[in-house]
Amino acid sequence: MSIKLKKINKILVANRSEIAIRIMRAATELDISTVAIYSQEDRFALHRYKADESYLVGDGKGPIEAYLDISDIIRIAIDADVDAIHPGYGFLSENPEFADQVIQSGMIFIGPTGETMRQLGSKVAARRLAVEAGVPVMPATEPLPSITEEKDQILKLAEKIGYPLMCKATWGGGGRGMRIIEKPDELLILAEQASREAAAAFGNGEIYLEKLVKNARHIEVQVMGDLYGNIVHMFERDCSLQRRHQKVVERAPAIFLDDKSRDFLCEQGLKIARAAKYQCAGTVEFLQDADNGEIYFIEVNPRIQVEHTVTDWVTGIDLVQAQIRIAAGGKIGDIKSSGVPSQKNIRLSGHAIQCRVTTEDPENNFTPDYGRLTAYRSASGFGIRLDAGTAFAGALITSHFDSLLVKVTSWAPDAESAMKRMDRALREFRIRGVTTNLRFLENLINHQKFLPADYTTSFIDKTKELFEFPERRDRASRLLNFIGNVIVNGNDEVKGHKLQTYSITPHTRKFAKKDPKDGTKQLLEKLGPEKFSNWMLDQKRVLVTDTTMRDAHQSILATRVRTQDLLSIAPSYAHCVPNMFSMECWGGATFDVAMRFLNECPWERLKALREAMPNILTQMLLRSANGVGYNNYPDNVIKFFIRQCADTGMDLFRVFDALNWVENMRTTIDAVRDNGKLCEGAICYTGDITDPEKTKYDLNYYVRVAKELKTAGVHILGIKDMAGI
């Protein structure tokens, strides 16, 4: 059989949450673009942001109905130029009409054909196929007639099989539409409940009755088929740990099976897959009577399973990537095209466990909790895999969808190590804001019967100690709890003791409330910039610039100290040190910090400081063509900015260029001179001029830059240290 490989360039994932993200990751690794869909209630869900494109589906419909809107999903796929659609699990994953419409629209459906779904998606039809294939089945009825109209007939059918019974939805999975019926007077009520639940979950309320094995293990075989008729199994998973028929913890392989039983089980799974001419990934589910070891077929799930992660790990096969490759024409046995080796080369390696972390409250009958995650810290480390949905700090958990937060999968060479690794991972989680089942899961995997798999499907319901939770020590926040307790209730250990108090009053120099003495500001106004610079050359004393308010202290001062704080000390400078040369109090990063972080006007700060220190030169840092910003600005912007600075009260402009490119500083220097202010040309120093081997930035280099600055018209030369001298 010759089938041409098709190139898939873009996949639409017709699902949500963790499985949607899982599929997108697999596609991305195959260099395939991804498209997500989301309902209005899922507009902030993580899966829509993990895709290359995302579109609202089912506008105006409910949160569940939106994901069941076949026509709108097809419309989005066509508009987005999609090559293939992956349904994930749940929603439309087992809907044959959806599969047919995808194919009729010219796209690839990543899953079994609609015909196969009709054959296997109905548990009753699948049971017929199993009988034809010679696979052991559980005694069961055909789909039940109308419960309201055919009560007597339903009671007779139940009596024929014998109580206890299991009522099951014909379509779908996940434990929905299932009820245990112990006696005749429960039958009609529970069957009606199961039918309504199935209709709400799968759009089909059809149900049937099956003989109940009370002491049963739940085992499932993973199968994979390609378009050429090749079908393989990937061994089994132990799914016996359930609550309300919903799987809680899954393991692979099932350690209670010996090689002979495992071979028999997997062969039964292959018989059904071959009889159905199965394509893509699917799961054949069985019950094993724990008392006698007999195995019975129960159903086929024609889709990827929630618990596929454990099979991924123990076989080393990426099931989702294999689905995509096979749908495009990849052949089993050709690892390059399909990612799946031949049956003889599929081997088990180690042991894997998956736990489903949910927002269910185990102390309140597992009622789902809803709200916002105020804190979320997940586990990690060797041998731990996380498949999360919308699980992050700030995420909103709603009542519209299932309560799954994250699937945690551990792997190790043996079952005990995998269990200990899972225990460690569960204890690492920190989730606040909603109740979770984490402590229940810890109790479950640490129970003495877990490791040897000494349990059945009723284990959780019958084991009360799983719900005994020791009080949490909460080491992460116990200090906060202690402080809060002391604030509210006080501390008996210090009650009645007078605490010593220490009060240190800072001593400040007193000065008369009058105009301060004249200083460098008045001298500049009298002499002008040129003569002022000559006056500086004539001075024998050191001229001091105070940098308390400058931007170089921004990390310890400027981001915390406001204009009001600076104005409180500014008059002291004017009166107590009138002979101060200048105050560097503005420009550079302080401009940005004042405006963006402190929400203050830097211009108002400059004006106020000028008034508070009328006798001392104000000084600023100016990044030449960058001004006080972080981009190059046009010349007219720089000129206007300098004029505004000068008019508002700035006297001395300390100008530099990070590369000592004097040509880049000329516009700034000229603008300062045009406004009658002092210009200090700052040379950026780096290197070591005392080292004769470092010749690039030697003394001659800095002398040359200084001469260029003097020629450009600066009044003062300065060194801006870039080397920590």
Q: Which residues are catalytic?
A: 247
What tokens appear for 62 in the block? 């409910």
DSSP letter (8 states) at residue 288: E
Q: 266 and 233 in contact (C-beta within 8 Å)?
A: yes
Nearest Cα residue to 99 out of 112, 80, 81: 112
Q: Which residues pair with 361 in a beta bridge?
A: 367
| Phi, psi of 38, deg, nearest 5 | -150, 145
For 244-294, where are the E strands, in sequence order? 246-252, 280-289
- Edge to edge, the sheet with strand 10-13 lists 53-56, 33-38, 10-13, 84-86, 108-109
**Single-letter amino acid code for the residue at 28:** T
Distance, CA of 516 to CA of 460 (rounded, Å): 85
Q: 74 and 14 in contact (C-beta within 8 Å)?
A: no
Burial classification of residue 603, based on how many CB atoms lie within 10 Å of its CB (0-12 exposed, 13-18 middle, 19 or more buried): middle
SS3 125: helix
Measure the CA angle with vertex 626, ends 624 and 629; round to 5°: 135
Distance, CA of 371 to CA of 392 (rounded, Å): 12
403-to-89, 212, 371, 651 alpha-carbon distances in Å: 15, 28, 11, 66
Question: CB neighbours of 480 closer than 8 A, spacing ≥ 6?
Answer: none
Residue 337: left if φ>0, alpha if ψ -120 to 50, beta else—which one? alpha
Q: Which residues pair with 289 in a beta bridge?
A: 216
